Amino acid sequence: MASSNFIDYVKINCRSGAGGAGSVHFRREKHTPKGGPDGGDGGRGGHIILRGNSQLWTLLHLKYRKHIKAGNGVAGEGGRRSGAQGEDIILDVPLGTIARNPETSEKIVEITEEGQEIILFPGGRGGMGNDHFKTPTQQAPDYAQPGEPGQEEWVVLELKLLADVGLVGFPNAGKSTLLSVLSAARPEIADYPFTTLVPNLGVVAYRDYKSFVMADIPGIIEGASQGKGLGLRFLRHIERNSILLFLIPATSENIRQEYNTLLNELREFNPELMDKTRMLAITKIDLVDEETRVKLESDLPKKLPVVYISAVSQRGLDELKDVIWHNLTSIEPV
């Protein structure tokens, strides 16, 4: 998908429908001179509903729909006939979408499952007709309730990609190359920094028809949590990954320092990321000899699963998938 088509943030104005007014009506038939009140209720106003759709992965379809309006309820009629409900508006969104108040950034709702429906803004209640207000002492009420107004608010929809494994690394660490080799995804690959401008998702096939989802996140640089580079905009996508796979090239001058820099940026952005399962893959291992590889091992972070891989020569990829799958299946569900 083209870079310009990846939209993970939209601000829209939503207006739910107003409820219909109740009816003031009296039964009038030839042989029923005192039929009494029979005004029906007004219909409910239309809801604004968010629905999870696993076939979507961006908010592009909502980028140019700035105003979302649900239908108003219809007024009630005589004969105790209720008015029709206003038309609901259902907004399909990708899994991982959060609706927030644009002024306070407070989370309103969150969509994480296929087919999940949550009413974002409910429609106004329809008014009751005068039939509801008759009593032994008030047998001919000439009033009914008006319908309640709908709600009109601006709301921010923010997408955080749902993936099993998130690739974390500096620009040109080989994240896009690895994703293209392990899955059918075809991210743009080049030898200059920030080739990847938007996250890419790929489904990685594993043994016995099993699979997991891998996300290629744009490169992080030192200071990303303060807004430098592209990292700040896309760091939030890492929050939804079950495993963080750090990719550092074997040609790096100081692997431990690069790892600590990446870890610090994640910590500065969201300390809760430190609770996620972490793995380390040393990439481009085909560019160093065995002697250099032995020296690298002394510089690696301790107590961290490490795999040596080369996406170009496809070296170590089966081992990498084994380690990922083992960690995925050992993660306790929330």
Is residue 219 marked as binding? yes
- 194 is known to lie in a ligand binding site: yes
- C-alpha distances in Å from residue 274, one per residue of 18, 124, 144, 165, 231: 46, 44, 59, 15, 17
Please indicate if the annotation marks 327 as binding a ligand: no
204 in a labelled binding site: no
In the sheet with 48-52, reading across from the earlier edge strand, the strands are 89-93, 48-52, 117-121
In Å, how far are 103, 173, 177, 283 from 191, measured between CA atoms? Answer: 41, 10, 11, 15
49 annotated to a ligand binding site:
no
140 is known to lie in a ligand binding site: no
Q: Please indicate if the annotation marks 97 as binding a ligand.
A: no
The residue with tokens 């870079």 is: 3
List all residues 6 or more positions away from 290 whose beta carbon is below 8 Å from its beta carbon: none
Annotation-wise, does 170 bind a ligand? Answer: yes
Kindly compute the dihedral angle of the four CA atoms of residues 113, 158, 11, 187, in this order, to the nearest 10 degrees: -100
Whether 108 has a binding-site annotation, put simply, is: no
Instruction: Outline where 62-116 has alpha helix (H).
Output: none
Say if residue 312 carries a ligand binding annotation: yes
- Residue 195 labelled as part of a binding site: yes
Q: Is 50 assigned to a binding site?
A: no
Find out whether 216 is annotated in a ligand binding site.
yes
Separation between Cα atoms, residue 70 and residue 45, nearest integer Å:
8
Rounded Cα distance, 108 and 120, in Å:
8
Is 285 labelled as part of a ligand binding site?
yes
156 annotated as ligand-binding:
no
Is 269 marked as binding a ligand?
no
198-234: b (≥16 Cβ within 10 Å) or e: bbbbbebebeeeeebbbbbbbbbbeebbeeebbbbbb
Has 82 been labeled as part of a binding site? no
Q: DSSP string of 273-304?
A: GGGSEEEEEEE-GGGS-HHHHHHHHTTSPSSS
Q: Is position 79 annotated in a ligand binding site? A: no
- DSSP at 77: B
Q: Any known ligand binding at 86?
A: no
**Does 111 show up as a binding residue in the annotation?**
no
Annotated binding site for GTP: 169-176, 194-198, 216-219, 283-286, 310-312
Annotated binding site for Mg(2+): 176, 196
Annotated binding site: 169-176, 194-198, 216-219, 283-286, 310-312
